[in-house]
Amino acid sequence: MIKLIGIVVIALGFALRFNTLLVVLAAGIATGLVAGMSFNEIMALFGKYFVENRYMTLTVLLMLPVVGLLERYGLRERAETLIKRAQAATTGRVLLLYTAVRQVSVALGVNIGGHAAMVRPLVTPMAEGAARAKHGELTPQATQLIRANASAAENVGNFFGEDTVFAVGAVYLIKGVLEAQGVNVGVWSLSLWGIPTALVAFCTMWWRARVLDRRLGRGLPGATGEGGQ
Amino acid sequence: MKLLSLDVFYVVAGVFLLLMAGRTALMRGHPTRWGSAIFWGLLAVVFLGGKTLPPVVVGYILLALVGLAATKQVGPAKADAASPGERAASAERLKNKLFVPALLIPATAIVGTLGLAKLHVGDVWLLDSANTTVTSVCLGALVAVIVGIRLTRAQPMTPVDEGSRLVQTVGWAIILPQLLAALGGIFAKAGVGAVVADLVAQALPTQYPFVAVLAYCLGMALFTVCMGNAFAAFPVITLGIGLPFIVHQHGGNPAIMAAIGMLCGYCGTLLTPMAANFNLVPAMLLELPDKHAVIKAQVPIALVILVANVLIMWFCVYRF
Give the pLDDT confidence of A161-214 residue by residue, as tens digits: 865 545 456 777 788 788 878 888 877 788 788 889 999 999 999 999 999 999
Do B41 and B133 lie in one domain? The reply is yes
Q: Does residue B12 belong to any structural domain of this protein?
A: yes
Q: Is the pLDDT of residue A229 over 60?
A: no
Do B45 and B126 lie in one domain? The reply is yes
| Angle between helices A195-217 and B293-317 in degrees, nearest 10 | 140
Q: What angle do CA A129, A132, A138 make, to 5 degrees?
A: 115
- Segment B87-94 shows an average pLDDT of 88
Q: What is the pLDDT of residues A125-139, one digit of tens each?
A: 999 999 999 888 899
Q: Does residue B152 belong to any structural domain of this protein?
A: yes
Do B150 and B200 lie in one domain? The reply is no
Last residue of a domain, one of B152, B176, B200: B176
Q: What is the pLDDT of residues B158-178, one digit of tens each?
A: 999 999 998 998 899 899 888
How many domains, chain B? 2
* Range with the poorest average pLDDT among A38-42, A50-54, B118-122, B295-299: B118-122
Instruction: Show residues of chain A in contact with B66, CB under 8 Å.
Output: 19, 21-22, 25
Distance from CA of A195 to the nearest CA of B (A): 10
Q: Does residue B183 belong to any structural domain of this protein?
A: no
Instruction: Show residues of chain B in contact with A30, CB under 8 Å.
Output: none
Do B212 and B158 lie in one domain? The reply is no
Segments forming the whole domain that contains residue B292: 191-317
Q: Does residue B185 belong to any structural domain of this protein?
A: no
* Range with the poorest average pLDDT among A60-69, B114-123, B194-203, B300-309: B114-123
Last residue of a domain, one of B176, B210, B232: B176
Q: Does residue B29 belong to any structural domain of this protein?
A: yes
Residue ranges of A 40-99 with Cβ closer than 8 A to chain B: 40, 42-79, 81-82
Q: What is the pLDDT of residues B22-51, one digit of tens each?
A: 999 998 888 899 999 999 999 999 999 988
Q: Does residue B182 belong to any structural domain of this protein?
A: no
Q: Is the pLDDT of residue B81 over 80?
A: no
Do B156 and B198 lie in one domain? The reply is no
Q: Where are the alpha helices (DSSP H) in B99-206?
A: 99-114, 132-152, 157-170, 176-190, 192-203
Instruction: Show residues of chain B in contact with A125, CB under 8 Å.
Output: none
Three-class SS string for B69-120?
HHCCCCCCCCCCCCCHHHHHHHHHHHHHHHHHHHHHHHHHHHHHHHCHHHCE
Q: Are B3 and B122 in contact, with CB atoms under 8 Å apart?
A: no
Put simply, the answer to whether B309 touches A229 (Cβ < 8 Å) is: no
Domain map (residue ranges) of chain A: 2-52, 91-217
Do B265 and B300 lie in one domain? The reply is yes
- Segment A80-85 shows an average pLDDT of 87
Do B137 and B200 lie in one domain? The reply is no
Q: Does residue B184 belong to any structural domain of this protein?
A: no
Distance from CA of A136 to the nearest CA of B (A): 18
Do B28 and B146 lie in one domain? The reply is yes
